Amino acid sequence: MVRSLEQSVSSVSFDKQNNLVAGGWDGQIRKWNSDGDLLWSENLPDRISEILFHKDQIIVTSGLHIVALNAENGQINWQHPLEGSADSAIVENGEIYATSSVYDIEHNDFLESAIWKYSLQGEQKWIIRMDERPWFILSHKSKVIVGLGRPMSGWGEVLPKGEIINHQLSTSSPIMCGTKDSKKVLFGHADGTISTSKATENKFTESVEILQATDNIRVASLEGGILIATDTSNQEMWTAKGSPISTQAVGFISGENNTHWLTRWSGVEGNLEVRNSADGKILAQSKIPQTRTIFSNDSRVVIGSDDGKIHVWEKEMFDRRIQSDGEGATQSTSQRDALKAKLRALRNK
C-alpha cells in the first residue's frame, strides 16, 4: 500500500500489531492501522527523527524535543526540550535514554553532546554532557551502549545512575554507525573498519555509513555506493556497486532467505533494489523518489520518501508477485524456445 504525509518523510516504524507510524521533516506524525486506515494525525515542533513504542505510549525525538504521545489518539502526554537537536532514543528497563548534540555551523563540527534519562512519565532523572557525539544508542543484554566520535572515539556503556564507562576499540577511528545481532554489538568506523568490543571483524577501503546484521549476515553500506555482505566468519558473500546509498535494511524472509532492501540516490533519480541476501541476486527493482528512512520486521517493509509518500510491502503479497513474475518469465522462455525450434525446422527443410 501507499500512504502519504503532507511533507517529506523523515522516520517510519511498525508497532507489534503492524500499525504504521510515520513522521515528517516539518513535525507531522500520523498513525495507520495494519489495514491502512488513518487513525490520527498530530503536529509536533520539528523533524521526527526517531519513533519508539512502549506500552500505551509512542516516544519520538522531534527537533529539539523528546515527546511522548498517547498511542491510541496521538495526544501529547509530555514533551521536553533537550540541548541542541534530539537525535535518538531507546527504552531500556522501563526508562528512556535520549541523545542530543549541538552543531556549530562556523566550525562545521559538533561542539557538545549529551545523554539524557527520563521516566516514562516525563521526569528527568539525569544528564551526562560530553565533547564526543554519540552516533547511535542501543541496548544489548540489558546494557545501554553508545558509539562515540572524536576526540574520545570508542564506545560508552551508560550506567543506570548517570555514569558512562568509556571503552577503546582495536581502531581509534571514530564510530559512524552501529547495530547488533543476538550475540554482540557491531561498530562501523570512519576508516572502513567493522569491529566488536573485542576485535576487528573487517576492514574496507571506504567509510562505513550504514550497518545491518542478523545472526547469519552483515551488510555494510560504504561511502561512494558500495554494498558488501559478509558472513559471520567475515568472508565476503557478495557485493554491489552503484549510486550513493540512502537507506538499507534486512527484510522479511522470501523463499528460504531473507530479503535485503536498498535505496540509492544519484542526485537526479532514485532506485529501489530488493535482493536475496544469500547471494545478492536482485529479486525486484524500481525507480523511487529520494528516500531517507526505512524500517522492516518479519512481515513488512516500509520506506518513506521526500515526496511525502510512504510505501509498504507485505511478505505474502511480495512472495506471490515474485512467484508470478518467475512463472511469467518461464512461460516467455518456453515460448521463445518453441519459436526457435520452429525456425530451425523451417531452415532444415
Classify residue 182 as left (phi > 0), alpha (psi -120 to 50) or beta. alpha
What integer pLDDT is reported at residue 136 of this predicted model? 94
Q: What span, in angstroms and rounded, lies between the C-alpha atoms of 148 and 146?
A: 6
- Tell me the domain boundaries of the chain: 247-349
What integer pLDDT is reported at residue 139 of this predicted model? 95
Tell me 58's DSSP state.
E
Omega cis (within 30) before 151: yes
CATH code for the structural domain at 247-349:
2.40.10.480
Which residues, at least 6 apart from 89, have a Cβ–Cβ distance to it below 8 Å?
Answer: 50, 52, 59, 60, 61, 66, 96, 97, 98, 99, 137
Which residues, at least 6 apart from 233, have a Cβ–Cβ distance to it below 8 Å?
Answer: none
The values of phi and psi at residue 18, to 5°, are 65, 20
**Cβ density class 74-105: b for 16+ within 10 Å, e for less:** beebebbebebbbbbbbbbeebbbbbbbeeee
pLDDT digits (tens, 9 = 90+) for 120-135: 999 999 999 998 889 9
Q: What span, in angstroms and rounded, lies between the C-alpha atoms of 279 and 194?
A: 21
**Cβ density class 229-240: b for 16+ within 10 Å, e for less:** bbeeeeeebbeb
Three cell numbers, residue 158 = 551508560
Q: What span, in angstroms and rounded, lies between the C-alpha atoms of 70 and 59?
A: 9
Three cell numbers, residue 288 = 523511487
Q: Which residue has the cell 557491531?
A: 186
What integer pLDDT is reported at residue 7 of this predicted model? 96
Q: Which residue has the cell 541476486?
A: 281
Task: Give the residues of the chain that fall short of pLDDT 50.
Answer: 330
**Cβ density class 265-284: b for 16+ within 10 Å, e for less:** beeeebbbbbbbbbebeebb
Q: What span, in angstroms and rounded, lies between the C-alpha atoms of 313 and 263?
A: 14
Q: What span, in angstroms and rounded, lies between the C-alpha atoms of 215 and 228?
A: 16
